[in-house]
Amino acid sequence: MLKWKVGEVRVTQIVELTTASLGPHLLPQATPEVLNAIAWMSPFIDENGRLVLSMHSLIVESQGQTIMVDTCIGNDKVRTYPKWNLMQTDFLDRFRELGFSTEQINTVLCTHMHVDHVGWNTRKVGDKWVPTFAKAEYLFAEDEWNHWRVEEQDYGPVIEDSVQPIFDAGKAVLVSSSHRVTDEVYLQPTPGHTPGHVSIHIESGGERAIITGDMIHHPCQIKHPDWSSLADTDPDMAAVTRGDFVEKYADQPVLIIGTHFAAPTAGKIVRDGDTYRLDY
């Protein structure tokens, strides 16, 4: 579990799991041969040159608010991906060991509504799905909700067990894709992976950080922003969004915190010849 300080804002990572099994399904361009040839890629690939992805939440503490960004996969959920079906992890125990309580979370903020970003929105009590963070408002970008309320997901009843119960409990708040959560934390629209996908900007004390969401799945996409994921709703738009982002923040004093980046998870984008790398 890693921690960062951005001005007066504290960011804490809580890992649910790490995996090297998803890479070929997400980024088939990222072969072991290609990745092993990139010197700075070693923390983000395994001994066989396969992509390593981290499923983690990020707790952002800002101006008295405790904000949970993305809620991973969750327990007890019926999923079509076998390793995630009816999964059981000690995620909430890790959460508590870091000094947090479910009642302490004021805001849950999902960068988008895919299976691995909304799972701990709810937990199973008896035969019902109830909000895990009972005192929190759950913020969803309105464009994202408008898309998924009429679209099926590939991994199972994700909306039915992890999003709709939040609306049923009266905890959901639809916001714009540039919504400001506090004076220090606000959303930035980064569409392409999904129609309403957002990244999270943090600005405090003259320092800045951005939580990527799935606008960038893996650091190899910093070197190759044209590599779109097979999970992208609009691969062309995703590539444009990512390319613009990498160019804009290259050589800038902005900490990039990857929502799926394995440790060290964060760094700055710097120019590297005619392309880019993550400086960590």
81-115 residue pLDDT tens: 999 999 999 999 999 999 999 999 999 999 999 99
Tokens of 269: 């984008």
Q: How far from chain centre, in Å, is Cα 77?
A: 19
pLDDT of residue 130: 98
What's the pLDDT score for residue 233? 96
Region 48-56: what's the mean pLDDT? 97
Lowest-pLDDT range of 15-24, 44-53, 266-275: 15-24
User: Nearest 5°: CA angle at 61, between 84 and 252?
Assistant: 90
Q: Would you say 194 and 112 are in contact if contact means Cβ atoms under 8 Å apart? A: yes
Q: Average pLDDT, stretch 23-34?
A: 92
Contacts of 53 (CB under 8 A, 6+ apart): 18, 19, 20, 22, 23, 26, 217, 218, 260, 262
Dump pLDDT digits (tens) for 148-205: 999 889 899 999 999 999 999 999 999 999 999 999 999 999 999 999 999 999 999 9
Q: What is the residue-averaged pLDDT of the chain?
A: 97
DSSP structural state of residue 124 = E
Overall fold of domain 3-279: Metallo-beta-lactamase; Chain A (3.60.15)
pLDDT in tens, 150-162: 988 989 999 999 9
Would you state the pLDDT for residue 203? 98
Domain map of the chain by residue range? 3-279
Contact assessment for residue 9 and residue 65, using Cβ atoms and an 8 Å cutoff: no
